[in-house]
């Protein structure tokens, strides 16, 4: 039986463990042990419940986690875990029993666009469909390109009606007309009939024919169509006014046409989207015709906000690999199932990692909590293999706890098992000493911090052939420069990946408020409310129209109304919850482990920055929440404070987080980095497999839930041949 040591308890590693145990008969092949820092699973997706008296067991996240509707593999995995639990009697954990229970749809996103020196809200409704998220069916990228161009055709036609400046008949003297006409004859075999067609609709019809015909010359025809789209955007640019509706219409049209032109001109459907990853997305769309007003527009800004696409958290240094971005946009906007987005109905830890822990525990997977990996060493007799793993012991589970099933990590809140924000001290030998950090009064020692002052209580070495045969490395790349020095020293590919696949710190704030967002002035447009009512009447489903804002003032450029979480917290005073997230500028140099004060300095920086941001910017979102003395900010009397402090002191009772640890920094997709990522199943070492959103995967190389899950599935597949299919890993039809 092969012993597999799984290092790390983030989503990539846990997904890999789950799919290894999904394989029929896995028990006869593998013995799995997961080694995890601290007391909880989740990595960057870990959440905790506030265990202080009076704080309602409130949810505390690393930031805002929302699942996109194209996350097929993530939904498939979670559904499989929930189904597996339903077959156990009794189930080992209490959690959501269906995806419908676990998620709330979200179909409206409001962009904030600067116009004439003010913020102008731009609500966008993404039409829902009747698909179920997590469908085991590939959406081909070529089909999505055609769908995107068809949508742009409709966008153009609805704006102009029959008065289009790019009516094909108006441009019969231009070379682009004759090129399209010649292409039309080639792909249809009949004379062209452009009368009544815009250049966009004509291009759409021809692209559809080319994509569906596997023998069609997409390289030649795509170039013709791309030139026609760029010309069409130029004509529209000269025709529109500078009014806000005209500018918004043009920005969307210009952005979409430049992306599709780039896909066709750079032949991404045949060469692979990653072939364009040497460019930044903004640079790339400008190269393919996008105007400066488009490049700096809210729809482009929100793309970078979504992936924290800024070098070292500097919100002026944009960097997002173009091909990966284009592929993600196609999937996100035209490949979603059900709704554009889904909000989890509890913390990410509670919603995702509770069921996964329960299934794995019940199946016999061993969890070694409070084990920090300090290094991997090569086998002296076989340098192409991992020979040993060094572990630091952070705490000791009491013998009587081990004898009765091992460490139990959960607390029950509103009927579901949730991860607390601190260890269960009662189950640990060192529990009483861990309760309070004398250097940080009122708080326990932080066992998850790279800079913790808590001394390890022991150490051990796992040896190849004795404790493990194979290693599955799921620790995030920010920590690997320190942990994997022998691998880096032996492999130029490892050195390039660790140096070139970069991470960035992020920051977040959560506010609990005494009034609803609407009472504080958030406005849901009447047409959105009507659309939601119509959809529910037709289908019985929710549309999802709560507040979600992007492209707003940096650094907290994203705000979400998360009030739907209140039923899963344990208090009555709050009427709404608001999350703020954004990039956090990295320090010039990261301090050594011995600088135990660094996390507190960064926390104070984030809290102070959040309070300043709220004072200067929140009234745009919640205008009725402003005070008479501060018309741009939020009156602190609306903040929930169990300690009943007065005035600005109530801000201290909210939650602020600086994500600075090497394993929790966000993994970026900067230009030129995709080629440096190593596939999980091709680590270069014979008994090592990789999992995480920092590896190369066949679906999407970006920092998101879907990429992480796919990486975990690919890791399991590389080890066991299971799962047999991963959605989207062969999504090009050419």
Mean pLDDT of all residues in 178-198: 88
How far apart are the C-alpha atoms of 172 and 646, rounded to whole Å? 72
List the one residue out of 396, 399, 406, 403 whose CA is nearest residue 447: 396
The one-character DSSP state at 473 is: E
Torsion-angle region of residue 618: left (phi > 0), alpha (psi -120 to 50) or beta?
Answer: alpha
Q: C-alpha distances in angstroms, 576 versus 326, 562, 563, 589? A: 35, 7, 5, 38
Whether 734 has a pLDDT exceeding 50, the answer reads no
How far apart are the C-alpha atoms of 547 and 560, rounded to whole Å? 6
Q: Which residue has the tokens 């792909």?
A: 187
Mean pLDDT of all residues in 520-529: 97
Q: Which residue has the tokens 């815009």?
A: 198
Q: What is the pLDDT of residue 285?
A: 98
* Pair 11, 708: CB distance under 8 Å: yes
How far apart are the C-alpha atoms of 334 and 8, rounded to whole Å? 34
Q: C-alpha distances in angstroms, 586 versus 62, 580, 592? A: 17, 18, 15
Q: C-alpha distances in angstroms, 706 versus 149, 196, 328? A: 25, 42, 11
Mean pLDDT of all residues in 160-170: 90
How far apart are the C-alpha atoms of 392 and 718, rounded to whole Å? 29
φ, ψ for residue 649 (rounded to 5)?
-60, -20
Q: How large a percentage of the chain has pLDDT more than 90?
A: 94
* Pair 254, 248: CB distance under 8 Å: no
Q: What is the pLDDT of residue 534?
A: 97
> What string of DSSP letters covers 335-398?
S-SSSSEEEESS-HIIIIIHHHHHHHHHTT-EEEESEEEEEEEEETTEEEEEEEEEEEE---B-
> How do residues 441-456 score in pLDDT, each as one tens digit?
999 999 999 999 999 9
> What string of DSSP letters covers 120-187?
EEEEEE----SPPSS-S-PPPHHHHHHHHHHHHHHHHHHHHTT--TTBGGGGTTSHHHHHHHHHHHHH
Task: Give the angle subtended at the CA of 316 by the CAs of 312 and 317, to the nearest 5°.
Answer: 50
* Pair 697, 679: CB distance under 8 Å: yes
Radius of gyration for the chain, computed over Cα atoms and rounded to the nearest angstrom = 26
Provide CB contacts within 8 A for 323, sequence distance 6+: 268, 272, 273, 274, 275, 276, 277, 674
Whether 1 has a pLDDT exceeding 70, the answer reads yes
* Pair 44, 13: CB distance under 8 Å: no
Task: Give the angle subtended at the CA of 546 by the CAs of 544 and 547, to the nearest 5°.
Answer: 135
How far apart are the C-alpha atoms of 166 and 298, rounded to whole Å? 25
The secondary element (H helix, E strand) that includes residue 252 is helix 244-265
The secondary element (H helix, E strand) that includes residue 2 is strand 2-7
Q: C-alpha distances in angstroms, 267 versus 225, 260, 700, 731? A: 12, 10, 18, 15
Torsion-angle region of residue 511: left (phi > 0), alpha (psi -120 to 50) or beta?
Answer: beta
Strand bridging mode 688-690 / 470-473: parallel
3-class DSSP state of 658: strand
Whether 536 has a pLDDT exceeding 80, the answer reads yes
Provide CB contacts within 8 A for 19, sequence distance 6+: 77, 712, 713, 716, 717, 720, 722, 723
How far apart are the C-alpha atoms of 35 and 370, rounded to whole Å? 8
Tokens standing for 530? 């009507």
730 pLDDT band (50/70/90 cuts)? confident
Judge if the upstream peptide bond of residue 723 is cis by omega within 30 degrees of 0: yes
731 pLDDT band (50/70/90 cuts)? low
> What string of DSSP letters covers 55-109?
STT-EEESS--EEETT-HHHHHHHHHHHHHHHTSSS-SS---SSHHHHEEEE-EE
List the one residue out of 501, 476, 464 whose CA is nearest residue 687: 464
List the one residue out of 118, 115, 65 whose CA is nearest residue 352: 65
Tokens standing for 409? 């990590």
- 705-720 vs 11-22: helix crossing angle, rounded to 10: 40
Q: What is the pLDDT of residue 235?
A: 97
Q: Which residue has the tokens 């469909």?
A: 129
How far apart are the C-alpha atoms of 668 and 323, rounded to whole Å? 14
pTM, two decimals, is: 0.97
Question: Euclidean distance between the first and final Cα of the chain, in Å?
Answer: 42
How far apart are the C-alpha atoms of 145 and 273, rounded to whole Å? 12
Instruction: Give the Cβ contact number of residue 228 at 10 Å.
Output: 27
List the one residue out of 408, 421, 332, 428 whose CA is nearest residue 42: 421
> How do residues 239-287 score in pLDDT, each as one tens digit?
999 999 999 999 999 999 999 999 999 999 999 999 999 999 999 999 9
* Pair 562, 577: CB distance under 8 Å: yes
The secondary element (H helix, E strand) that includes residue 559 is strand 558-561
> How do residues 594-652 score in pLDDT, each as one tens digit?
999 999 999 999 999 999 999 999 999 999 999 888 889 999 999 999 999 999 999 99
* Pair 34, 365: CB distance under 8 Å: yes
Mean pLDDT of all residues in 210-221: 85
3-class DSSP state of 369: strand
Tokens standing for 512? 């609990």
φ, ψ for residue 324 (rounded to 5)?
-60, -40
> What string of DSSP letters covers 303-326?
HHHHTT-BGGG-TTSB--BHHHHH
Mean pLDDT of all residues in 296-321: 97
List the one residue out of 256, 290, 245, 297 whose CA is nearest residue 550: 297
How far apart are the C-alpha atoms of 193 and 370, rounded to whole Å? 70
How far apart are the C-alpha atoms of 83 and 599, rounded to whole Å? 40
Mean pLDDT of all residues in 703-730: 96
Distance of CA 83 to the CA centre of its chain: 24
Which sign, positive or negative, has the C-alpha torsion 618, 624, 625, 629? Answer: positive
* Pair 207, 185: CB distance under 8 Å: no
How far apart are the C-alpha atoms of 6 and 8, rounded to whole Å? 6
Whether 330 has a pLDDT exceeding 90, the answer reads yes
Whether 145 has a pLDDT exceeding 50, the answer reads yes
Whether 133 has a pLDDT exceeding 60, the answer reads yes
The one-character DSSP state at 9 is: -
How far apart are the C-alpha atoms of 573 and 58, rounded to whole Å? 12
Whether 733 has a pLDDT exceeding 50, the answer reads no
191 pLDDT band (50/70/90 cuts)? confident
381 pLDDT band (50/70/90 cuts)? very high
Tokens standing for 107? 């179909």
Provide CB contacts within 8 A for 426, sequence distance 6+: none
């Amino acid at each position: 039986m092969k012993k597999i040591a799984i290092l790390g308890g983030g989503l990539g590693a846990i997904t890999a463990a789950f799919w290894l145990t999904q394989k029929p008969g896995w028990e006869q092949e593998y013995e799995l042990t997961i080694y995890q820092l601290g007391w909880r699973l989740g990595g960057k997706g870990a959440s905790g419940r506030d265990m202080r008296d009076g704080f309602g067991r409130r949810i505390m996240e690393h930031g805002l986690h929302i699942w996109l509707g194209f996350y097929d593999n993530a939904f498939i995995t979670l559904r499989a875990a929930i189904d597996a639990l339903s077959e156990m009697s009794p189930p080992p954990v209490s959690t959501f029993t269906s995806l419908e229970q676990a998620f709330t749809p979200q179909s409206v996103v409001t962009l904030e666009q600067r116009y004439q020196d003010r913020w102008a809200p731009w609500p966008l409704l993404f039409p829902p469909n009747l698909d179920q998220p997590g469908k085991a069916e590939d959406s081909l990228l070529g089909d999505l390109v055609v769908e995107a161009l068809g949508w742009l055709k409709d966008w153009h036609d609805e704006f102009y009606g029959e008065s289009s400046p790019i009516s094909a008949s108006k441009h019969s003297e231009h070379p682009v007309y004759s090129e399209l006409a010649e292409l039309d004859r080639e792909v249809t075999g009949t004379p062209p009939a452009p009368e009544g067609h815009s250049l966009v609709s004509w291009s759409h019809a021809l692209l559809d024919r080319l994509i569906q015909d596997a023998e069609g010359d997409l390289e030649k025809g795509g170039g013709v169509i791309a030139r026609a789209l760029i010309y069409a955007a130029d004509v529209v640019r000269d025709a529109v006014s500078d009014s806000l509706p005209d500018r918004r219409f043009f920005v969307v049209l210009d952005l979409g046409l430049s992306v599709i032109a780039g896909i066709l001109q750079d032949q991404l459907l045949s060469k692979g989207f990653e072939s364009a990853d040497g460019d930044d997305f903004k640079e790339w769309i400008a190269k393919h015709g996008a105007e400066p007003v488009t490049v700096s527009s809210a729809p482009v800004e929100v793309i970078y906000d979504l992936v924290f696409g800024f070098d070292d958290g500097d919100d002026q240094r944009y960097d997002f690999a173009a091909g990966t971005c284009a592929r993600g946009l196609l999937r996100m906007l035209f490949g979603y199932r059900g709704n554009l987005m889904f909000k989890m109905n509890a913390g990410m830890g509670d919603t995702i990692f509770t069921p996964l822990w329960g299934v794995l525990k019940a199946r016999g997977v061993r969890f070694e909590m409070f084990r920090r990996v300090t290094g991997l060493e090569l086998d002296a007799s076989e340098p192409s293999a991992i020979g040993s793993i060094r572990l630091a012991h952070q705490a000791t589970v009491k013998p009587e706890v081990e004898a009765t099933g091992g460490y139990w990590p959960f607390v029950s809140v509103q009927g579901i098992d949730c991860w607390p924000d601190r260890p269960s001290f009662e189950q640990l030998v060192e529990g009483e000493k861990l309760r309070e950090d004398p250097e940080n009064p009122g708080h326990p020692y932080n066992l998850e911090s790279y800079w913790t002052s808590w001394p390890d209580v022991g150490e051990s070495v796992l040896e190849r052939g004795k404790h493990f045969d194979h290693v599955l490395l799921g620790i995030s790349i920010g920590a690997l420069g320190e942990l994997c020095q022998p691998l880096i020293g032996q492999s130029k590919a490892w050195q390039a990946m660790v140096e070139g696949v970069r991470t960035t710190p992020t920051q977040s704030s959560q506010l609990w408020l005494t009034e609803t967002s609407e009472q504080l002035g958030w406005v849901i447009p009447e047409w959105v409310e009507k659309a939601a009512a119509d959809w529910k009447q037709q289908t019985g489903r929710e549309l999802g129209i709560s507040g979600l804002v992007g492209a707003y003032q940096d650094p907290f450029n994203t705000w979400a109304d998360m009030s739907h979480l209140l039923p899963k917290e344990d208090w009555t005073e709050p009427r709404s919850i608001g999350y703020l997230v954004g990039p956090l500028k990295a320090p010039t140099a990261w301090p050594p482990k011995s600088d135990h004060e660094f996390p507190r300095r960064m926390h104070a920086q984030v809290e102070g920055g959040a309070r300043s941001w709220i004072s200067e910017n929140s009234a745009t979102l919640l205008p009725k929440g402003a005070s008479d003395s501060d018309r741009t900010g939020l009156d602190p009397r609306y903040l929930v404070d169990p300690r009943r402090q007065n005035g600005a002191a109530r801000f201290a009772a909210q939650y602020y987080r600086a994500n600075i640890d090497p394993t929790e920094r966000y993994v970026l997709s900067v230009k030129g980095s995709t080629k440096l990522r190593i596939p999980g199943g091709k680590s270069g070492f014979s008994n090592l497999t990789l999992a995480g959103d920092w590896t190369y995967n066949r679906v999407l190389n970006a920092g998101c839930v879907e990429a992480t899950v796919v990486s975990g599935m690919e890791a399991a597949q590389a080890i066991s041949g299971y799962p047999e299919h991963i959605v989207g890993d062969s999504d090009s039809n050419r």
